[in-house]
Amino acid sequence: MQTPDSTSMVIVGAGHCGGRAAQALRTAGWLGPIHLVGDEPHAPYERPPLSKDLLTGGKQAAECALHSADDWASLHITRHVAQVTALHPASRSITLSGGQTLGYQSLLLATGGKVRTLSIPGGDLPEVLTLRNLMDAATLGSRLVPGHRLLVVGGGFIGLEVAASARKLGCEVTLVEGAPRLMGRAVPEPVAERALALHRAQGVRVLLGASPHSIARTAEGLCMALADGTQIVADTVLAGIGIVPDLALPGAAGLAVGRGICVNAQLQTSLPGIFAAGDVAEFPSVLSGQLVRQETWHNAETQAAIAAQNMLGGIDGNLVAYTAFPWFWSDQYHYQLQVAGEPALATHSATRALDGDGLLIFYLDASDTLVGACGWGETSRVAKDLKLARTLVEKGVTASAEALADPATKLKAFLSNAR
Ligand SMILES: Cc1cc2nc3c(=O)[nH]c(=O)nc-3n(C[C@H](O)[C@H](O)[C@H](O)COP(=O)(O)OP(=O)(O)OC[C@H]3O[C@@H](n4cnc5c(N)ncnc54)[C@H](O)[C@@H]3O)c2cc1C
């Protein structure tokens, strides 16, 4: 058994956030040991391509990696392929599935989340898949051949992206969503409507307000019965119904947990020397101060850097606060969606038409300061505008709803109203 080493930096979870944090520790000048423990066989990689280019063949698994094997070697980071089974805050150590113990000076929990599975009769059949990691993507990808009948459960980002990829590959796609519209509260109604129209135009059969009741294997294939009696036959079912952070490990160690592992603005948990970041962390929003958890690439990327800095004691002895504005994107066919800031904080909004059938909705507070923006349109035609909208939100631009809605005023012009 390895002796606990209190001079080590230890990271649990070798996903996007954990991998970036390990790299950031070196960039910030840490010369001591770094242990990165993850239960996936692969070195850290980015997940967004799993539902997009990796499925359609536009990207290979190796291209999703955060770093090449040589880069990891040159960073002198010790990778452990193991599950962490216990945290021992009192002795500043953790236990790995093989029984090994690692001691730490600072510990980062970047354990992401586990996919929700379909808890209905037949939900555990082998043809009922989920998508979170490279192995899931390989299994799903191997089935998506022309004519394959795919039934997607869940009209959120992952379900819609997989539906788009499957259509590109010539599959017959049905998507069922329990809510009356797509993408829940994460995007405004007009954008959800356009996305729905696009998917239907691309040949996806979309059923809204549809609750899966059971799945049975029949001579025709898998047969899903909906609560209203509708039956859908498919070869594969993909459940894209979200993730839940695994809070048993931090909870058992006495860390404060809520909808995630609770951290303050410096990403410190309730116990000394332990930080949390990425999908698993519940942190105070820079805009509202309310506790939020975000499941986005940008959150994993930017929190990793702050967590690493603070694991080393911050800058000049002062811990650094996480102040990045929320932002995420989703690619569906040749369209892109982007949401920046926190639209839910708005008192009013302004809608601007973009090139083609694109649209951009700005969200303003009572003092006409931008608190969010949501844009949608053909990627090649709206990318520049969506990028500018994000900048305007980040800069806290003040403008009237009328001016923002007026396509005659260039978006760039609003930069002069920055905070
Ligand atoms: C298919 C897909 C498409 C996506 N597309 C987009 C997109 O277009 N735009 C966007 O903004 N975001 C997207 N995301 C979200 C984004 O990828 C995540 O927010 C990001 O990966 C979160 O990083 P993380 O490091 O917090 O978690 P993860 O990347 O999930 O990493 C956590 C790691 O910890 C490991 N782990 C957990 N518990 C333990 C333990 N006890 N011991 C050891 N290891 C453990 C897990 O196995 C995992 O490897 C997508 C996600 C998926 C799955």
Per residue in 288-322, pLDDT tens?
A: 999 999 999 999 999 999 999 999 999 999 999 99
Percent of the chain with pLDDT strictly greater than 90 = 95
Same domain, 203 and 173: yes
| 15 CA: nearest ligand 1 atom | 31
Q: What pTM, to 2 d.p., does this model score? A: 0.96
Q: Residue 411 belongs to what domain range?
A: 334-417
Q: Using the mean position of ligand 1's atoms as its centre, give its distance from the Cα of residue 239 in Å.
A: 17
Report the alpha-carbon distance of residue 270 to residue 264 in Å, rounded. Answer: 8
Q: Where are the beta strands (DSSP E) in 294-334?
A: 327-332
Report the alpha-carbon distance of residue 262 to residue 269 in Å, rounded. Answer: 6
Residue type (1 letter), 296: T
Q: Using the mean position of ligand 1's atoms as its centre, give its distance from the Cα of residue 364 in Å.
A: 31
Phi, psi of 14 (to 5 degrees): -105, 50
* pLDDT average, residue stretch 105-134: 98
Q: Whose CA is nearest to atom 25 of ligand 1?
A: 17
Same domain, 142 and 285: no
Q: Whose CA is nearest to atom 9 of ligand 1?
A: 329
| 327 CA: nearest ligand 1 atom | 11
Same domain, 304 and 412: no
* pLDDT average, residue stretch 74-89: 97
Does 62 or 5 have the greater pLDDT score?
62
Q: What is the DSSP annotation of 178-226?
A: SSSSTTGGGS-HHHHHHHHHHHHHTT-EEEES--EEEEEEETTEEEEEE
Same domain, 108 and 163: no
Tell the burial category of 142 from Cβ atoms under 10 Å away from its Cβ (0-12, 13-18, 19+).
exposed
* pLDDT average, residue stretch 162-178: 98
Beta strands 261-262 and 281-284: pairing type? parallel
Same domain, 142 and 191: yes
Does 259 fall in a domain?
A: yes
Question: Is the model's pLDDT at 123 over the cut of 80?
Answer: yes
Looking at residue 139, which CATH number applies to its domain?
Answer: 3.50.50.60
Give me the pLDDT at residue 5, please. Answer: 62
Asked whether 225 and 195 are in contact (CB, 8 A), the reply is: no
Tell me how many domains the chain contains.
3
